[in-house]
Structure 1
Amino acid sequence: MNKSDFIAKLAEDTAMKKSDAEKFLDAFVANVKEILISGDKLQLVGFGTFETKERSEKEGVNPATGEKITIAACKVPAFKPGKIFKEELNR
């Protein structure tokens, strides 16, 4: 499912106009990004938790040359599904 399909489904399920559903989705995504960039996490009970994790610096290999390289430490977004969601998924 792509973004436009999701917007259509969201509009159908909530009796919203597609334009309103798109505004809602864009605002939701922007807010999740803002929360993660600020270092906080977003916990949606029954669904899961969006958070930022730290990856430490590590050594890697350039597959084209075989040369060893250093991969810098970075922050990455992560999603951990909640218990209820996992149970529903595995039924």
Structure 2
Amino acid sequence: MRKADLVARIAEKTEIPKVDVLVTLEEFFKQVKDSIAEGENVYVRGFGSFIAKKRARKVGRNIKANRAIEIPAHYIPAFKPAKVFVEKVKTNLKVEEKEQKEAVSK
């Protein structure tokens, strides 16, 4: 699903114009990005957490020059889904796999 599909679904279910949904969604994304960039995590109950994870310093390899390089410690954005979200995905995918197996066996 792309962003346009998501906007269309939300607009259809809420009967809010697509333009307004798009503006709201874009502002949500902007706020999440800005918050993470400032070191503030974003928690959405029942959905998950947008966090900044710290990567430790490590030694990498420049293959072309055939020498070791030091990669300094840095932060990366990450998403940690809520338990409710994880369970819903697991349950739905298990049902789908079971249906596929039954369809193949028939």
Q: Same fold (TM over 0.5)?
A: yes
Give the aligned partner of residue 26 of structure 1. Answer: 26
Would you tell me which structure has more helix in proportion to its own residues?
2
Alignment of 1:34-73 (within 5 A): 34-73=34-73
Which protein shows a greater Rg? 2
Larger relative contact order, structure 1 or 2 (CA cutoff 8 Å, min sep 6): 1
CA shift for structure 1 position 83: 0.7
CA shift for structure 1 position 42: 1.2
Moved over 2 A (4+): 62-67
Give 5+ residue unaligned stretches, structure 2: 92-106
Give 5+ residue unaligned stretches, structure 1: none
C-alpha distance 66-17 of structure 1, shift in aligned 2 (>3 A)? same
Deviations 1:29-76 (A, max 9, x none): 011112112211111111111111111221111244433222222111
Structure 1-normalised TM-score?
0.88
Q: Report the RMSD for the aligned CA atoms in angstroms.
A: 1.4
C-alpha distance 64-13 of structure 1, shift in aligned 2 (>3 A)? farther
